[in-house]
Amino acid sequence: MVNLILFGPPGSGKGTQSAKIIDKYGLIHLSTGDLLRSEIANKTPLGMEATKFMDQGLLVPDEVVIGMISSKLDANPDARGFIFDGFPRTTAQAEALDKLLALKKTAISVVLSLEVPEDELIKRLLNRGKTSGRSDDSSEDVVKARIVEYHNKTAPVADHYAKFGKFRKVKGDGSEAEVFDLLCKELNELVAEKV
């Protein structure tokens, strides 16, 4: 089983590249951002709670996202592997994920971190905000708040996995195709393409 974390700041291309990776390698995609947006669209109590944080560019509380991931892991017992997109975003989430995977006798295989300069991140997110209708892409202040949350709470997750020799940086500011090629070079060592 191959379990990949696609890591990086907001707008670094995690969602964009995940779509290409699941297509090529047949992994199950678990995006906490997508799961939360679906809860919001369905106006569930969890969604109503999450939107209060997301609208301000803040992270949603750990227990909410850990619970969502746990039930998705249980729902896919026959997966050949998972791609975690936007999760874990705090050290507490990383520790919880390690425990959940250990219960299933598996572990994170590698963390691939998309490295993109901050001015490019801001440009990409504000550009998406023009058409996405996403409240968290709509103003430069909220986009910058998301980047601050990343530095304060998410960047330490890199150290958590670097300790185990599982953290690798990938240049994320080329074209979508160039970034995908670099990710495939890393992944081809670990997982066969789906047939």
CB of 151 to ligand B4P, least distance (A): 13
Per DSSP, the chain holds a count of helices (H) and strands (E) of 9, 5
Clarify whether 89 is annotated catalytic.
yes
Residue 129 within binding range of ligand B4P, rule CB under 6 A: no
- The answer to whether the CB of 77 falls within 8 A of the CB of 99 is no
Nearby residues of 176 by Cβ (< 8 Å), 6 or more positions away: 13, 16, 17, 20
Burial class for 134, CB neighbours closer than 10 Å (0-12, 13-18, 19+) = middle
Clarify whether 43 is annotated catalytic.
no
- The answer to whether the CB of 113 falls within 8 A of the CB of 158 is yes
DSSP secondary structure code for residue 138 in this structure: S
CB of 195 to ligand B4P, least distance (A): 27
Residue 13 within binding range of ligand B4P, rule CB under 6 A: yes
Closer of 21 and 65 to ligand B4P (Cβ): 65
Among 3, 12, 51, 113, binds ligand B4P (CB under 6 A): 12
Q: Is 88 annotated as a binding residue?
A: yes
Helix, strand, coil percentages in the chain from 3-state DSSP, rounded to 5 = 55, 15, 30
Clarify whether 128 is annotated catalytic.
yes
Q: Is 84 annotated as a binding residue?
A: no
If we measure between CA atoms, which residue out of 4, 48, 46 comes closest to residue 28? Answer: 4
Among 54, 73, 94, 157, binds ligand B4P (CB under 6 A): 54
Clarify whether 80 is annotated catalytic.
no
Among 16, 70, 135, 138, binds ligand B4P (CB under 6 A): 16
What b/e sequence results for 91-124 when a residue is b if at least 16 CB atoms lie within 10 Å of its CB, and e otherwise? eebbebbeeebeeeebebbbbbbbebeeeebbeb
Closer of 128 and 168 to ligand B4P (Cβ): 128
Residue 86 within binding range of ligand B4P, rule CB under 6 A: yes
Which residues of this protein are in contact with ligand B4P, per CB under 6 A? 8, 10-16, 32-33, 36, 53-54, 59-60, 65, 86-87, 89, 93, 124, 128, 136, 146, 175-176, 179
Residues annotated within a binding site for ATP = 11-16, 128, 174
